[in-house]
Amino acid sequence: MTSTTDPQGAMRPAEPYMNPYLAGIGLGLVLLASFVIMGRGLGASGAFNATVAYLELKVVPQHLAANPYLSEYVGDGSSHPLKAWLVFEVLGVFVGALLSGLLAGRVRRTVEKGPRVSTRARLAAAFAGGSLMGFGAHLARGCTSGQALTGGALLNVGSWAFMMMVFAGAYAVARFFRWQWR
């Protein structure tokens, strides 16, 4: 069950989540299908980068030109930066999650946080965490999907090192951020 601060939350109780092992098998089969059909795994942060690269191209092209990492997502300009595999995949993630959420009565507008935390503080933490994540994914060239899940399944040494470090980093600081959920 999700806890929610939204008054609509009382209308229809959300269904419990799926058994984690079953959901894991489902996720694994999707990943396997991606390997078999496409010869590549899943990703997420790449789609964010492509979107940022596209926006910079439209608004501040000289800033983009000075950033070789982002420029890669635009390429030589022969095709639209948003016409990329990961962008379409992430659009699918949105639709798939929405579908699953609707089926289970779990879609409602809310800010997820503990009852004693202000909305503003939670939103600020979410933004800060996202920025750190963006920086980390930039360094490692991938996030939990592209590195840990995909590289992990292919027994990629760097991806396993990455995964261990994600958990190490998270456990090391977790106690300092628990206030968000109390």
Partner 1 sequence: MSAPFFKHGLFGEEASLIVAFAIGIGFGFFLERAGFGSARKLTAQFYLTDLAVFKVMFTAIVTAMLGVTYLGWMGFLDLSQVNLVPTHLWPQIAGGLILGVGFVIGGYCPGTSVAAMATGRVDAVLYALGV
**Interacting residues with partner 1 between 152 and 171 (CB under 8 A):** 152-159, 161-171
CB of 163 to partner 1, least distance (A): 7
Residue 124 in 3-state DSSP?
helix
For residues 36, 40, 44, 49, the Cα torsion angle rounded to the nearest 10 degrees is -150
Told to check if 60 binds partner 1 by CB under 8 A, we report no
Q: Are 50 and 33 in contact (CB under 8 A)?
A: no
Contact pattern for partner 1 over residues 11 through 50, marking x by CB under 8 A: ------xx-xx-xxxxxxxxxxxxxxxxxxxx-xx-xx--
Min CB(62)–partner 1 separation in Å: 23
Query: Which 77-96 residues touch partner 1, going by CB under 8 A?
Result: 83, 85-96
Least Å distance, CB 61 to partner 1, is: 21
Q: In whole angstroms, what separates CA 41 from the centre of its chain? A: 15
Cα 175 from Cα 127, distance rounded (Å): 19
